Amino acid sequence: MSVRITALTDPDTSLSNRLAWLASDTDGIPVGSAFLRLYTGTGQDHLAALELHVHPAERRNRTGSRLLDAAIAAARQDGRRCVITQAEAGSPGDRFLPARGFRRVLILIFTRLPLAEADITAFTEITEITDQSHPGYRLASWEGTVPDGLAETFVASRHAMDDMPMGGTDFGTVTWDLDRVRAEAATVEKRGDLLHTVVAIDESDGSIAGFTELVVPGDGKGDGQHYGTGVLPQHRGHGLARWMKAASIRQAHERHPDLSGLLTDTADNNPYMRHINDALGYVPTHTTFEYQLDL
């Protein structure tokens, strides 16, 4: 069957530029797609991220290869240094990518905390963790974008993610400023979801020592998704990450009782955060590999 590849215009340019391609058969029916995100921020303008999907019936007839060729050519033309993408362990993509020159650079462990089926004992333990005293610190939280009074130190706290384990990924560095923080919150709101943030505040000066973010579907149903969790180096060793994450779980359950669960993913080489997730009751669901192609 003849397949046509069509370049599309993608309006998603909030935090990066995104290119798109559609593969369709002779009847115009879509059989595959590719999206290439071109990061534009300082420290990541060498990087492109790929999403590629092909209908199972169209695999092994070069549909995926042709979509990949179009995306790689665009990345090279834009002067990118590398392209990253992900594939679930054992999936067709996990076999396809190494054959096309991608190398595995990171292992991600995906886990889920079931909320609908959780018993009262589990939430009692989470409540106990949240209620524990952490001398010198207090918790605060908000929905949506950061309040003006906490904005400056919240931006500074984003550096807690600078040393996040990334394996061999050439991910670069994310440069955070208030415009980027607000743009991220606006993107979540635009798609109809809710961004919930919990922070630990250093009571000695009122600055934010760490944060955790959770995105909940706008209707409060289905699964929520954890985003970043980080503690600034000078505040580590006090149990703040577990404290904040427990508070985030508790608040999400109280505010959105119809939530089914919470999802998160953690690098295999990040035992500290994996231990926190295990302690809070998260259960492994699958493993995904991050692949990188050096251009």
- DSSP symbols for 4-54: EEEEEE----SSEEEEEEEEE-TT--EEEEEEEEEE-STT-TTEEEEEEEE
Q: How confident is the model at residue 58 (pLDDT cuts 50, 70, 90)?
A: confident
Nearest to 239 by CA among 111, 161, 129: 129
Rounded Cα distance between 50 and 96, Å, is 14
Quickly state the pLDDT bin for 13 (edges 50, 70, 90): low
Residue 281 carries which DSSP code?
Answer: T
For 108-134, what is each residue's pLDDT tens digit?
Answer: 999 999 998 766 567 788 989 999 999
Higher-scoring residue by pLDDT: 65, 11: 65
Domain 110-286 has CATH 3.40.630.30: yes
Nearest to 157 by CA among 225, 229, 226: 229
DSSP 8-state code for residue 238 = S
> Among 8-12, 76-80, 162-166, 239-243, whose mean pLDDT is lowest?
8-12
pLDDT in tens, 254-267: 999 999 999 999 99
Give the residue-averaged pLDDT of 196-200.
98
What is this structure's pTM? 0.88
Q: How are beta strands 16-24 and 4-9 bridged, if at all?
A: antiparallel
In this predicted model, what pLDDT tens digit does every residue of 172-193 receive, in sequence order? Answer: 888 888 998 999 999 999 999 9
Judged on CB neighbours under 10 Å (0-12, 13-18, 19+), 163 is exposed
Please choose, from the candidates 45, 49, 46, the residue with its C-alpha nearest in 3D space to the C-alpha of residue 34. 49
Cβ(15)–Cβ(148) below 8 Å = no
Q: Is the pLDDT of residue 60 over 70?
A: yes
The confidence score (pLDDT) of residue 186 equals 93
Q: How many CB atoms lie within 10 A of CB 114?
A: 15
Quick check: 162 pLDDT over 70?
yes
Q: Which amino acid is at 44?
A: Q
Let me know: does 139 contact 247? Beta carbons within 8 Å: yes
> What is the layout of strands, in order, in the sheet containing 103-114?
4-9, 16-24, 30-39, 47-54, 82-88, 283-294, 103-114, 259-267, 222-231, 207-216, 194-202, 137-143
DSSP element (H, E) containing 204: none
Strand partners, 87: 289
The CATH 3.40.630.30 domain(s) of the chain lie at 4-80, 110-286
**pLDDT band with cut points at 50, 70 and 90 for residue 251:** very high
Residue 48 has pLDDT above 70, yes or no: yes
CATH number given to 4-80: 3.40.630.30
Per-residue confidence (pLDDT) for residue 234, from 0 to 100: 97
Distance of CA 128 to the CA centre of its chain: 28
Range with top average pLDDT, 9-18, 58-67, 152-161: 152-161
pLDDT category at 10 given cuts 50, 70, 90 is low
Q: What is the pLDDT of residue 110?
A: 97
Q: Is the pLDDT of residue 14 over 70?
A: no
Statement: residue 42 has pLDDT above 90: no
Mean pLDDT computed over 223-234: 96
